[in-house]
A and B are shown apart, each in its own frame.
Chain A
Amino acid sequence: DIQMTQSPSSVSASVGDRVTITCRASQGISSWLAWYQQKPGKAPKLLIYAASSLQSGVPSRFSGSGSGTDFTLTISSLQPEDFATYYCQQANSFPLITFGQGTRLEIK
């Protein structure tokens, strides 16, 4: 199975900051990567698919990049509603899917 490793596991930041979260795959996955945001007690919400495509309705301050094994999710200017946990998910081995372990974004 393809393993997905996110870093950092948690990060503290302030409103207005630029934040980058990294996801590394244990083998090349082309651009088959998605990013999700999850708030406490809620289902995950799709932000980015195919590594860099913004899901409809998601603010443009969210962006994704990367291919192969290394990927990043960037939030250009943090807003109060962005404090949440973020997960990456690979689909290169679709339909066998794996998620990263999550990155918790906290208020500094």
Chain B
Amino acid sequence: QVTLRESGPALVKPTQTLTLTCTFSGFSLSTSGMCVSWIRQPPGKALEWLALIDWDDDKYYSTSLKTRLTISKDTSKNQVVLTMTNMDPVDTATYYCARIRGVRGYAFDIWGQGTMVTVSS
């Protein structure tokens, strides 16, 4: 069974750095074609793709947020970590990690349950 689970702080202060961890099971991020991505959703708003890391450790970022984002993986721990610097109240959102593969048309076939992050002083 494939699962992903996000973890991290529920509350961060403006200007702080957010660190989120996605812990997954049921697949290996070393397998060719396998990727894990982060997506966020502000309350009542649409989904926004943030970042992706692939099996070959290539990393890709949203054009609008790339200066603030860093994605990394620890294959031995089955974890993907996202950091976002200089947090602002507009970054308040539910943050999801999800698996994406070419064999599923580069669609997100399995999602974590999401973790809500509030940015407030």
Contacts and interface: CB of A to CB of B under 8 A. Distances in A.
A binds B: yes
Interface size class of chain A, counting residues whose CB lies under 8 Å from the partner chain: 20 to 34
Contacts of A96: 49, 60, 62-63
A44 B108 contact: yes
Contacts of B37: 95, 97
B49 A46 contact: no
B24 interface: no
A71 interface: no
4 A-B pairs with least C-beta separation: A50-B105, A91-B106, A34-B107, A49-B105
A53 interface: yes
Interface residues of B, number: 24
14 contacts: A31-B105, A34-B108, A43-B111, A43-B113, A44-B96, A46-B107, A46-B109, A53-B105, A87-B47, A89-B107, A91-B106, A91-B107, A95-B52, A97-B49
Given A43-B113, A87-B47, A49 B60 contact: no
Contacts, number: 73
B49 A43 contact: no
Interface of B: 35, 37, 39, 46-49, 52, 54, 60, 62-63, 96, 98, 104-109, 111-114
B46 A97 contact: no
Given A36-B47, A96-B63, A99-B48, 20 more contacts: A1-B63, A33-B105, A34-B107, A36-B108, A43-B96, A43-B113, A43-B114, A46-B107, A46-B108, A50-B104, A50-B107, A87-B46, A89-B47, A91-B106, A91-B107, A95-B35, A96-B49, A97-B52, A99-B47, A100-B46
Contacts of A83: none
A102 B15 CA distance: 30
